[in-house]
C-alpha cells in the first residue's frame, strides 16, 4: 500500500523549530539583561548603605 499523503511536518522538524525558538527567547532575555546592566550598576553605586546607629556599642579600647 502506497501512502499518497505527504507529511509536511516531521517530528524532528517540529522539535528543531521548538528548540530554536526557545534558544532565541533565552538569547533575547540575556541580551536584554546585558543591555540594562550599566543602568543597574549605576543605580546600585548611587545607593549607599548607612548604619542605623552612628555609634558602636562594641568599641574596643
Per-residue model confidence as pLDDT tens digits over 11-51: 888 888 899 999 999 999 999 999 999 998 888 888 876 66
Report residue 3 as a C-alpha cell. 501512502
Q: Pick left, alpha or beta for residue 18 (phi over 0 → left; psi -120 to 50 → alpha; otherwise beta).
A: alpha
Mean pLDDT over residues 6-10, rounded? 70
The pLDDT of residue 56 is 61
Report residue 33 as a C-alpha cell. 539583561
The pLDDT of residue 31 is 95
Amino acid at each position: 500500500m502506497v501512502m499518497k499523503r505527504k507529511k509536511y511536518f516531521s517530528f524532528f522538524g517540529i522539535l528543531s523549530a521548538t528548540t530554536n525558538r526557545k534558544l532565541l527567547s533565552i538569547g533575547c532575555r540575556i541580551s536584554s539583561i546585558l543591555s540594562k546592566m550599566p543602568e543597574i550598576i549605576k543605580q546600585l553605586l548611587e545607593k549607599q548603605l548607612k548604619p542605623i546607629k552612628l555609634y558602636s556599642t562594641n568599641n574596643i579600647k
